[in-house]
Amino acid sequence: MPQTPENFGWVRLTQGCQFVHNQTAGILVGCVSEAIKYLAQHKLTSIKLAAIVLSDTAHAHGVSNWALEFPVYKNLFIDSGLQTGRKLAIIGSKKQIARAKAILRTTLLGPTRSQYRKWAREYGVPGSHYRMIMRACDAFALKKNGAVLQLEDVIEFIPYDNDRNATLPPFHIQHRGEDVFKITDSTGAWHTHCQLTFTTKPAPPFSIQATAGVRKAHRFAFRVLLNSNGFDHLNGCTAYIIWIDGQPFIWDAAPFVNESLRASGLSIDEVAGVIITHTHDDHSSLLELMAAGRRIRLYATPEVFEGLLIKIGAIIDRNLQLAEHRTSFLQLIDFHPITCGVPVQIGSACFTAHYNIHSIPTIGGRITYDDGAKVHQLLISGDTAGPAKLREFERQKLISQRWIDETRARITGTEDLVIHDGGADAAGLHANPEDPELLELAKTMNERLYFGHRSSQLLANGQRINVAAAGFEKVFLPKEGPEDDLNALEIALATYDMHAPKLVRTLFEVGESVSVAGKQVIIRQGDPTNCVYVLIAGQLAIEIDQRPVAILGKGSIFGEMAALTDQKRSATVKSISAARLFRIPQQAFIRLADTCALLDKLKTLWSKREQLMHTCIFNCLPNKTIANLTQTLAEIHIDVGTPILKQGELSNAAYIIVKGQVSVVRDERVIAYLGPGNIFGEKAALDHAPTPRTATVKALTACQLLKIEGAQLRHLNQDFFLVNDLLYTTLQKRDLLK
């Protein structure tokens, strides 16, 4: 970077997000989730935000790089843009700007009236529900001279010209390539190049503490993962865990929800379902959950669900309102529609949602669990207007009196726990715990009412309130009986076809259960070997040469390679959260391995696992899925000059290049060269019937390939969002080569 005047600065905030600024104004290049907190982390929030330059990569590792909502709030409310009329600029191509408008329309203004009417017909939602929500959205909408402000009234959308340039004095932006930008002072006195990278997932801009003890799968319990707002840079946004029948359900998916799950000893594969209350960025990072695991069971009202599809579709550049895209994408989501006021059974619990008075469609809900002796009640208000705003709306007759009365009567006093919105923003979108009505309610409920959407217990008047901070837990019905070590051992050994009951019982009798605290080294790279471990509960991280390479969840087995080959440990394993392990002595494991001819199986697994981990399509898969894949993929060796696929022939397998180079030829014209880590043949493999190949693929060098059958690739495409997205993107790019 060249020498620049002292009043000019450039900061890499995190992966995929940089900040260029002078003394008074700055530009976000890329806009990753929690961008405002990264600015605060670098002590840059005092600089007014002038513009966002949209990155070409709109999402990576499940994280949105177009998280535009809170930067807009910063300009409007913190930088006084609403008072002064100064707009935030959003810069990109015309297509990118159209997608950005779709995101912002959904998160800032809510659905249009025509969308409400369409969804009411499709889902059978009473029209009165949507008329009620629209009145609340209109009441909260920003206005000038009585007229509701539209996106263009608060945001300036600046498309690139034909030369890929845009100007926002004093900045000139030139788009020089994929995720590469040159930003120049209008005087030409300085410039900088911004090249965004997305090699790893960004680290959270706030600390996430590991749980003190090993988590337990309770019959009915509530736990806070994260619980603040989009401007509190020391804490995460809203995400809760509700345990029902020993299974965890997520209430709202805040950014970095996966990291908070791991710190609590959970993986997304263990999560039984997700409840999303609304589409604001601090509650709806559904892509992160989808990127981390399998098909998501989602509970939401129709308008929240459809809003999520509009938002996600704009981020991943697919119109999910079109049948061809919608059908494919919905294979990744098991959607369970909720109608407010109508109870929904979730296991042994009953969930009844209610609509909140908020700026966009938003729900809260009551969850009850009848254990035969008592009906346990948990009420989560969700984001909602507080008593002061209700009184204002009541005076102005902006909201129906019936809805206001229902909101006031929601807390009955019979609840075992109430989590009430306490966000206290200037616009009144969130309840203020300092309101006398809420203070009196908190006094009456005592330890049964806690405030959410905030981290501070201290009010401006010096009073202290109960806050549901990260780690807060309320157990209504504890887990019955000990954790099932034997079951976890069976899960782990099934990966290696060692799950015969007699074999598992033998290992169980010679092993022992071990508990470790969070952030502890369990085995260290280079140390001698004396045992094998199975993870019973918790989350572990694997590091090789101090570089993170994988996360292990319940049922994972590790240390087996060194134990069977009698070598030193090849990796370091640390606990992310408190964890419980089952330790098997090395000699006992070796005897069992000899009985099952395990060593040859494991050598195949280790070899193919390493190959798959270097394949862009499959390196996102869980360890257990990769282990299963290694048992079925056929290894093929091809001589130089040999055709692997021929244009027009019928087949439906795909191939992964482990070693070597191939050419892709269509109609006697070379359209691509592919090397290790690439996949080819995926288009025909995704079709259910054998399909004519669209190109000839020939080995330019001797090649080592892994063959994956079409049925298996289709299964992965349906189960894993990152596989689905990478295959879709790959096919889109290759279609451009026709």
- Is there a single domain that holds both residue 573 and residue 638? no
Asked if the structure places residue 614 within a domain, the reply is: no
Give the mean model confidence (pLDDT) for residues 80-86: 92
Residue 284: predicted pLDDT? 94
Helix (H), strand (E) at residue 27: strand 25-29
Write down which residue in 445, 476, 507 finishes a domain: 476
* Rg over CA atoms, the chain: 27
Cα angle value 76/82/85 (rounded, 5°): 120
Separation CA 487–CA 173 (nearest Å): 58
pLDDT-derived band at 392, boundaries 50, 70, 90: very high
Residue 2: predicted pLDDT? 42
Give the length of the chain: 738
Instruction: Choose the weakest-confidence range: 553-567, 658-672, 696-710.
Output: 553-567
Say how many domains are in the chain. Answer: 4
- Is there a single domain that holds both residue 542 and residue 522? yes
pLDDT-derived band at 238, boundaries 50, 70, 90: very high
Asked if the structure places residue 604 within a domain, the reply is: no
- Is there a single domain that holds both residue 417 and residue 461? yes
- Is there a single domain that holds both residue 505 and residue 449? no
* In contact, 236 and 205? CB cutoff 8 Å: no
Q: Encoding tokens for residue 123?
A: 């889902």
Asked if the structure places residue 210 within a domain, the reply is: no
- Is there a single domain that holds both residue 56 and residue 92? yes
- Is there a single domain that holds both residue 60 and residue 173? yes
Is the confidence at residue 708, as pLDDT, over 60? Answer: yes
pLDDT > 70 fraction of the chain, expressed in percent and rounded: 91
- Is there a single domain that holds both residue 124 and residue 160? yes
Q: What is the pLDDT of residues 98-123, one digit of tens each?
A: 999 999 999 999 999 999 999 999 99
Asked if the structure places residue 608 within a domain, the reply is: no
Instruction: Choose the weakest-confidence range: 27-31, 144-148, 469-473.
Output: 144-148
pLDDT-derived band at 16, boundaries 50, 70, 90: very high
Write down which residue in 195, 228, 248 finishes a domain: 195
Asked if the structure places residue 622 within a domain, the reply is: no
- Is there a single domain that holds both residue 433 and residue 521? no
Asked if the structure places residue 647 within a domain, the reply is: yes
- Is there a single domain that holds both residue 705 and residue 726? yes
- Is there a single domain that holds both residue 32 and residue 121? yes
- Is there a single domain that holds both residue 251 and residue 362? yes
pLDDT-derived band at 651, boundaries 50, 70, 90: confident
Separation CA 573–CA 520 (nearest Å): 9
- Is there a single domain that holds both residue 509 and residue 466? no
Residue 1: predicted pLDDT? 39
Is the confidence at residue 54, as pLDDT, over 70? Answer: yes
Q: What is the pLDDT of residues 419-450, one digit of tens each?
A: 999 998 877 889 999 999 999 999 999 999 99
Give the mean model confidence (pLDDT) for residues 396-404: 93
Whichever domain contains 659, its CATH number is 2.60.120.10
Residue 147: predicted pLDDT? 85
- Strands 88-92, 63-64: pairing is unpaired
Is the confidence at residue 51, as pLDDT, over 70? Answer: yes
Give the mean model confidence (pLDDT) for residues 243-269: 91
Is the confidence at residue 484, as pLDDT, over 70? Answer: no
Q: List the domain range (segments joined by +) for residue 175.
A: 9-195
Asked if the structure places residue 682 within a domain, the reply is: yes
* In contact, 99 and 317? CB cutoff 8 Å: yes
Is the confidence at residue 400, as pLDDT, over 50? Answer: yes
Residue 623: predicted pLDDT? 66
Asked if the structure places residue 341 within a domain, the reply is: yes
Write down which residue in 554, 579, 596 finishes a domain: 596
**pTM for this entry:** 0.87
Average pLDDT over the chain, rounded to an integer: 88
Whichever domain contains 432, its CATH number is 3.60.15.10
Residue 613: predicted pLDDT? 67
Residue 449: predicted pLDDT? 97
Q: What is the pLDDT of residues 257-303, one digit of tens each?
A: 999 998 888 888 889 999 999 999 999 999 988 887 678 899 999 99
Q: Name the burial class of residue 160, with classes exposed (0-12), middle (13-18) and buried (19+) by CB atoms within 10 angstroms of its CB.
A: middle
pLDDT-derived band at 38, boundaries 50, 70, 90: very high
Q: What is the pLDDT of residues 592-648, one digit of tens each?
A: 777 766 666 666 666 666 667 667 677 667 766 777 777 778 889 999 999 999 999
